[in-house]
Amino acid sequence: MKKNNNLLEVPNINSSDAQVKKLIYKIEDDLFNSHFKSSSKSDYLCVCSGGTTSSCARNGLITLDLRKEYNQIHLEEEKNLIRIGGGVIMKDLLNYLEKYNKTFPTGLSKLPGAGYILTGGISPMSRRYGLAIDNIDSIKGYLGNGTFISLEKNSLNSTQKLLWEGLKGAAPFLAIITEITLKIFQSHPIQIIEGFVDDNELSKIINLAEGFPDNLSLQWIYAEVIYIYIFAEIKNDSDNKITKKYLKKLEKFTSLKIKSYENYNQISFFPKELELFELNKNNHSEVISLLGGDLKDDIQTFVKCMKEIIKEKPNKSCYVASQQLGGKTKEFDHKSSFFIHRGSTWKPWIYAAWKKDDLKEKEIALKWLNESWKKLKIFFPKIHLAQIHNHLNFHEEEVYLSYGERLSELKTLKNICDPESILPPL
């Protein structure tokens, strides 16, 4: 951490540059007393678990940084469970698990903290192991009203059930989570088929991916060029045979290369030659994540739409990327959590960036993000609320498209758990 309490050393440059009112590291009783309660509807407590979101610190607001005091990791190997603090980043979790030949379905980046898990958690392994929230065994923390909570998946009473569901997918609005117990999995070898492709090849690969078995998943990024990753976990002979079958089908894409890894933790997604700029200290950025089902007969129309979107992007730091869901993620009842869009196959996200002091470029980049979203809504009508954007003008629509039929339940929970709106507003 930087010594200056007005600065957070975090991956998201927006938050790192924020002039926070106060930076705190531990939850004390007075956090929930009147001194910290909102003086206006625009004041609330920001919470930093990994620091990858633009909402973990805001100008003039207090930030609670969990990474210093809530970074414990404890393995219960005989139960295949791991207990982590709310400030543990995914890189540290995977590094710890690798020592025991275990793994957990984290995302493409190892930088996020527990916020990744609590807002859903989409991974290249999700098609086989479910979302991160599907693998939560217990949760501890404090509601916005100051009440300490300790919930276990298999010991919920009738009054705790709705809260449990709400914390899985909407926790940032309801509580400060200090500890999570997660189900973990045995590590297995991984194959990655990756490389640059053109528009026509992307169409064909998406079509192929919509028939993938659960051990395979497709990730792609469309920036100045298109780069794809096909992820394959080789757990047994059956996985090996079916992966070879698909490798045969992919041989015609001559630019693709096969790389083998001992385990998931060894993979680094998005190579430097893509020239992405998420960690460029001169850039600020925002990202919005969409959800939708199989593209089927609309694949070519979608790729044509993507080509137009990329052609119109205001600078080369902007891009659109996507992850594949399905398999196990579609098996869970949509009422088991507040990640309700269980029919989703694709999670694309739109990344808009600009030079941090250039207000005109910011306006242009955010306009491009909004216009791109409008164009993609026909294919991906829902939202994955992995980032909170209450500082942007589309926040209300984003919340509605995230929680849909359960939004009224979430608002009721918010009124009970956080009546003073200490935490980010809905």
Domain endpoint, select from 160, 186, 212: 186
* 102, part of any domain: yes
User: Residue 169: in which H helix or E strand, if any?
Assistant: helix 158-174
| Cα–Cα distance measured from residue 162 to residue 166, given in angstroms and rounded to the nearest whole number | 6
* 1, part of any domain: no
Q: What is the pLDDT of residue 2?
A: 42
| Cα–Cα distance measured from residue 382 to residue 125, given in angstroms and rounded to the nearest whole number | 22
Q: What is the pLDDT of residue 275?
A: 65
* 28, part of any domain: no
Same domain assignment for residues 152 and 271: no
* Nearest Cα residue to 89 out of 10, 34, 142, 155: 10
Structural tokens at position 276: 């992405």
Domain endpoint, select from 186, 215, 230: 186
Same domain assignment for residues 178 and 212: no
Contact 380, 348 (CB under 8 A): yes
State which residues form the domain around 178.
73-186
* 27, part of any domain: no
Same domain assignment for residues 340 and 376: yes
Q: What is the pLDDT of residue 3?
A: 40
User: Residue 182: in which H helix or E strand, if any?
Assistant: strand 175-183
Q: How many domains does the chain have?
A: 2
Q: What is the pLDDT of residue 4?
A: 47
Same domain assignment for residues 221 and 297: yes
Other C-beta atoms closer than 10 Å to the C-beta of 275 total 12
Same domain assignment for residues 215 and 328: yes
Q: What is the pLDDT of residue 293?
A: 97
Residue-level pLDDT, tens digit, the chain, 426 residues: 344 455 688 988 999 999 999 999 999 878 887 555 555 667 899 999 999 999 999 999 999 999 999 999 999 999 999 999 999 999 999 999 999 999 999 999 999 999 999 999 999 999 999 999 999 999 999 999 999 999 999 999 988 999 999 999 999 999 999 999 999 999 999 999 999 999 999 999 999 999 999 999 999 999 989 999 999 999 999 999 999 999 999 999 999 999 999 999 999 887 666 666 566 788 999 999 999 999 999 999 999 999 999 999 999 899 999 999 999 999 988 788 999 999 999 999 999 999 998 999 999 999 999 999 999 999 999 999 999 999 899 999 999 999 999 999 999 999 999 999 999 998
Same domain assignment for residues 219 and 322: yes
| Cα–Cα distance measured from residue 168 to residue 118, given in angstroms and rounded to the nearest whole number | 5
Same domain assignment for residues 282 and 309: yes
Residue type, 370: N
Same domain assignment for residues 274 and 238: yes
Read off the CATH number of the domain in which 94 is found.
Answer: 3.30.465.10
Same domain assignment for residues 136 and 242: no
Same domain assignment for residues 226 and 121: no
Bridge partners for 176 per DSSP: 142
| Cα–Cα distance measured from residue 257 to residue 62, given in angstroms and rounded to the nearest whole number | 47
* 402, part of any domain: no
User: Residue 291: in which H helix or E strand, if any?
Assistant: strand 283-291
Global pTM value: 0.94
Q: Calculate the dihedral angle through the C-alpha atoms of 139, 151, 120, 339, rounding to the nearest 10 degrees.
A: -170
Bridge partners for 183 per DSSP: 81
* 223, part of any domain: yes
* 277, part of any domain: yes
User: Residue 230: in which H helix or E strand, if any?
Assistant: strand 226-233
Q: What is the pLDDT of residue 273?
A: 67
Q: Map 61-99 to HEC letters.
A: CEEEECCCCCCCEEEEHHHCEEEEECCCCHHHHHHHHHC
Read off the CATH number of the domain in which 359 is found.
Answer: 3.40.462.20
Q: What is the pLDDT of residue 269?
A: 87
* Nearest Cα residue to 290 out of 369, 214, 182, 353: 369
Give residue for tokens 């200090």: 178
Domain endpoint, select from 186, 201, 236: 186
* 312, part of any domain: yes
Same domain assignment for residues 155 and 131: yes
In a 3-state reduction of DSSP, which class is residue 399?
A: helix
| Cα–Cα distance measured from residue 417 to residue 142, given in angstroms and rounded to the nearest whole number | 9
Same domain assignment for residues 142 and 171: yes
